[in-house]
Structure 1
Amino acid sequence: MKITFLGTGTSQGVPVIGCNCEVCSSLDYRDKRLRSSILIEIDGKHFVIDTGPDFRQQMLRENVERLDAVIYTHEHKDHTAGLDDIRPFNFMQMKDMPVYGTRPVLNQIEKEFSYIFAAKKYPGVPRVITHEIKNKPFEVHGVNFQPIEVLHYKLPVFGYRIQDFTYITDAKSISSEELNKIKGSKILVLNTLQIKEHLSHLTLEEALEIVHLIKPEKAYFTHISHKLGTHHDIEQLLPDQVYLAYDGLKITLD
């Protein structure tokens, strides 16, 4: 399995428009963060988790020429807004794109991209086949996905475990039952918004507590805001085998 971090930023991305803080002014490429998304390559298949507003730019940067399905974590715009840009994959692969999400996610997509689902479609609109998922394992092209339900304040959000890799974004709390699904993961990815307490996202301290509980071989933090600090400074504070992810980072799992 190969995982590419397409984006590691929060809803506004980094740098934030109009901000001149140390992080937003940084010349370190690791401090330039598009909206959060990952690409998973496994068994010859290519899956994207979330298509944020930067989806087109991410696909071009990584030279992605094939996409077999899109899986969504939740319905917020910074995770869904780029759906229209699956069109080139429709054209190249000459088939509809499978899209997986909970009923609230699919409802939001059908509303925001109503032209995709119109009875009389304008020529060239994206073509999708939607699949409703619930909090139980599902299979996409022979690959098993285990949802991990977390709470983003009060909004249910799905993280996913694929074999020994677990990806969780936009979490503030995770129940004991859902944490049990994560245990045994070799690689754990968690959202880590900032240092200070936040209503709907894990702080650095809270994310480290979960890593300590799960004890993966390696952990990576994503969905990072400019309020966390520079990549260089925060990495100095992290324990061994815990890292800040950055856009374009690639990791492999045997």
Structure 2
Amino acid sequence: MTVTFLGTGTSSGVPIIGCTCPVCRSLDHRDHRLRTAVHIAVNGRSLVVDTGPDFRQQMLRARVTQLDALLFTHEHKDHTAGLDDIRAFNFRQQQEIPVYGEPRVLEQLQKEFAYIFAEHKYPGVPRVSLHPILADDAPFEAAGIAVQPLRARHHRLPVLGFRIGGFCYLTDANHLPDETRALMHGADVVVLNALRREPHISHFTLAEAVAVLEELQPRRAYLTHISHQLGRHLTVDAELPGWIRLAYDGLQVEV
């Protein structure tokens, strides 16, 4: 399995428009973060988790030429806004793209992208098939790949992460129930969000994320959904235990 970090930034990305802080002015490419998303290549299949507003740019940069399924963690715009750009894969593959998400998330997509689901469609609109994820604890198949949903909470909003084989991916969370921790425990690789150092209403801080990872005891871990408030990549990465690293855009990990 090859995992590519398509984006590792928070909802505004890094650099932030108009900001002149040291992180936003950094020339280190690892401090330039598009909105959070990940590509998973496994058993000849190609899956993407979340299509944020940078989706087109991410697909081009990662040279992704095949898309077999989309998984959505939740309905916030920084995770859904790029859905229209899957059209290129429809044209290339001549088939619908399966989309997996909780019923609430799929309903929101149908509202925000109503033209995709209209009875009389405009020629060339994206073609998708919707597949609701109905149970937190029940594995499902996406494009023939077994996926275990991972329940978490983003302040008061229920969100999902996903486990595929030994890889766990969970972003936009600040609470993991015991059942989810059990499903993630001892994985080969865990990806978790770490927004900044200061407390936040809906995201793990750096210290909180590290504490969770120390409990989960994966072989390796990566932090994502990072804001400019966390600090320069070079500085923060050096503070972490050797088995935990800051992810950055374009990073590829073999699992």
| Interval containing the TM-score (normalised by the shorter chain) | over 0.9
Deviations 1:1-31 (A, max 9, x none): 0000000000000000110001001000000
Deviations 1:61-89 (A, max 9, x none): 11111000100000000000000000010
Corresponding position: 1:108 with 2:98: no
Separation in 1, partners of 2:180, 2:65? 34
Corresponding position: 1:59 with 2:51: no
Separation in 1, partners of 2:186, 2:237? 24
Structure 1 residue 141 displacement after superposition: 2.3
Corresponding position: 1:129 with 2:129: yes
TM-score, scaled to structure 1: 0.99
Aligned residue pairs total 253
SS at match of 2:229: coil
Q: Is contact 2:149–2:161 with CA below 8 Å preserved after alignment?
A: yes
Structure 1 gap segments, 5+ residues each: none
Alignment partner, residue 161 of structure 1? 163
AA aligned opposite 2:58: Q
Q: Of 156, 170, 173, which residue of structure 1 is paired with 2:172?
A: 170
- Superposition CA RMSD, Å: 0.6
Deviations 1:195-229 (A, max 9, x none): 00000000000000011101111000000000000
Q: Is contact 2:186–2:219 with CA below 8 Å preserved after alignment?
A: no
AA aligned opposite 2:128: V
Q: Of 177, 187, 204, which residue of structure 1 is paired with 2:189?
A: 187
Corresponding position: 1:151 with 2:156: no
Identity %: 55
AA aligned opposite 1:129: S
Alignment partner, residue 241 of structure 1? 243
SS at match of 2:179: helix
Corresponding position: 1:8 with 2:8: yes
Structure 1 residue 150 displacement after superposition: 0.5
Structure 2 gap segments, 5+ residues each: none
Deviation above 2 Å: which 4+ runs of structure 1? none
Separation in 2, partners of 1:27, 1:149? 37
Alignment partner, residue 73 of structure 1? 73
Separation in 2, partners of 1:81, 1:130? 17
